[in-house]
């Protein structure tokens, strides 16, 4: 009998269920007897022993279902070594649950913070396999995370929809895309949606250059412009501040988000009418796109293969379109940023897209 624990941690995304399904189908194809323990609300379920024993029928029909059948929660890695409100040692509690249930392996579906905790548990002696989930595509060591393409599709559709109203009214529209620290979604959706200006955290912008790009389009007879702006986009002025001052400047901004600040600055500079659209959490919702369904199924099958081979402490990754794995320790604590020198950025600039730099 193989006893496998699974949990989904951090922000949800469209292909969590599809990935769990892939793991379970792969396990049932590899072992005669398998028992699946699904921990509820992420690491919280592992800490407090809240779980469901899942049957094969629980994974039927969920390939196309968004969200997660197990529920999720955010448990910051930096607080994992701190006791909870009742003084409980969180790491010890998770290890105790694992041992009490006599698990052979714990499968963790999560992003950067979740995989740091997965690595911590691996270093504490538990058998752990990580699966790379995040719409941000910022997990180091994998070319692609599941959830990313689905989010890009939704963000692109938002930009597509804005095109018609922007053209009809001759306005400047800002579409604010998710991406607190990295700009992968904004970059891909911006190119796919035909945005004229793309602003991402990794390339600080100069508002004067943004306005110059808008002026250039106006002089060329272009009646409207669309900006794809990452929620973590930052100006050169703020980016140049020392870390503490930079954080304070962002936290104390009078605007609800950077998109509204940029809109105000454009209005002040040119008197142009500007509208802001924020798709927000719709980018996490709905059914996974076909690409993510395939990727998640492949990731799940690879996780089952690693369990069969008893190769633990690994993160399943995509490299050059091949699904493989790397040690959790290689990825933990690292973010995959967009580099200003990435070919995709250079390609976008060749197409005439401005990054405000």
Residue 138 designated active-site: no
Q: Is 183 exposed, middle or buried (0-12, 13-18, 19+ CB in 10 A)?
A: buried
> How far from the centroid of its chain's Cα atoms is residue 330's Cα?
19
Q: Which residues contact 25 (CB under 8 A, 6 or more apart)?
A: 59, 300, 301, 304
CA distances from 55 to 108, 258, 303 (A): 18, 46, 18
Residue pointed to by tokens 């990452």: 230
For the chain, give the number of residues. 357
Contact 132, 300 (CB under 8 A): no
Q: Which two tokens stand for residue 24?
A: 């379970």
**Catalytic residue, candidates 12, 58, 104, 136:** 136
Closest CA to 108 of 329, 316, 318: 316
**Residue 338: DSSP 8-state:** P
* Secondary structure element (H or E) that encloses residue 322, with its range: strand 322-327
**Annotated catalytic sites, by residue?**
136
């Amino acid at each position: 009998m193989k006893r496998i624990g699974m949990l989904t941690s951090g922000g949800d995304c469209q292909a969590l269920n599809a990935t769990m399904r892939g793991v379970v189908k792969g396990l049932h194809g590899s072992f005669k007897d398998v028992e699946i323990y699904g921990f509820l609300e992420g690491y919280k379920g592992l800490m407090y022993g809240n779980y469901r024993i899942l049957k094969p029928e629980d994974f039927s029909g969920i390939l196309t279902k968004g969200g997660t059948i197990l529920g999720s929660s955010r448990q910051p890695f930096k607080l994992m070594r701190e006791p909870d409100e009742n003084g409980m040692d969180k790491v010890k509690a998770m290890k105790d649950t694992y041992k009490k249930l006599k698990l052979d392996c714990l499968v963790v579906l999560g992003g950067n913070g979740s995989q740091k905790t997965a690595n911590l548990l691996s270093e504490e002696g538990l058998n752990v396999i990580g699966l790379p989930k995040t719409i941000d595509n910022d997990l180091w060591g994998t070319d692609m995370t599941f959830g990313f393409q689905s989010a890009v599709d939704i963000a692109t559709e938002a930009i597509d929809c804005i095109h018609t109203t922007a053209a009809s009214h001759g306005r400047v529209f800002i579409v604010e895309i998710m991406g607190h620290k990295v700009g992968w979604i904004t970059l891909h959706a911006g190119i796919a949606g035909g945005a004229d200006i793309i602003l991402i955290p990794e390339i600080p912008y100069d508002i004067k250059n943004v306005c110059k790009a808008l002026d250039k389009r106006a002089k060329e007879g272009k009646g409207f412009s669309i900006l794809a702006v990452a929620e973590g986009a930052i100006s050169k002025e703020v980016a140049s501040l020392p870390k503490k001052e930079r954080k304070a400047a962002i936290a104390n901004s009078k605007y609800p988000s950077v998109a509204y600040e940029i809109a105000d600055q454009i209005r002040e500079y040119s008197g142009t009418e500007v509208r802001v659209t924020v798709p927000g959490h719709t980018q996490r919702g709905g059914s996974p796109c076909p690409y993510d369904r395939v990727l998640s199924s492949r990731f799940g099958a690879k996780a089952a293969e690693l369990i069969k081979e008893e190769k633990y402490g690994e993160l399943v990754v995509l490299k050059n379109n091949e699904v493989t794995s790397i040690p959790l320790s290689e990825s933990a604590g690292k973010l995959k940023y967009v580099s200003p020198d990435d070919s995709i950025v250079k390609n976008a600039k060749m197409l005439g897209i401005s990054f405000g730099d």
